[in-house]
Amino acid sequence: MADKDLRINEQIRVREVRLISDDGEQQGIVPTLEALRMAKEQGLDLVEVAPNANPPVCKILNYGKFKFENEKKVRDSKKKQKLLKIKEIRMQPKIDDHDLDFKSKHIREFLAEGNKVKVTVRFRGRELAHTELGLDVLKDVLQRIEGEYVMDKPPSMEGRFMSMVLSPKSKK
């Protein structure tokens, strides 16, 4: 629920509202002016919490505190999110064995960090006629990092590139 679309006090322009008091007790359907008066008497605000209901649901509460609590919830939920990065490893179909070992080591490290890895083979010029060489390279990479990945997207051609996407095995 975004705070921007919540209306408070005089912004509420309906004849009557379903009122909830500051202690969470249902007050029933009350004229808006009466609900506003009750909120002012308690030194609190009238906040529309469910504008799509018929009639809209309003609650008597301290709006500043309510807004702060909502922002705090949003911040906490953002802290719990894990940002997933996609790392890309590029190579050519005529890659040397040692270079392939080196790149495989990097792929293993990226997966261990919890990142997804896009392994790409770039074809230049006449190499495009031999895409099976690129497929062999990708299969070779999979053999070298055996058991440490889950394949999200199998090897496929995208223009001059053949790529596949791997993600780390979930730790249970």
Q: Quick: pLDDT tens for 72-83.
A: 988 888 887 777
Overall size of the chain counted in residues? 172
Residue located via tokens 């074809």: 123
Let me know if 121 is exposed, middle or buried by CB neighbors in 10 A (0-12, 13-18, 19+): buried
Give residue-wise pLDDT tens across range 1-43.
555 667 888 888 888 888 898 888 888 888 888 888 888 888 8
Domains present along the chain, CATH in parentheses:
3-77 (3.10.20.80), 86-168 (3.30.110.10)
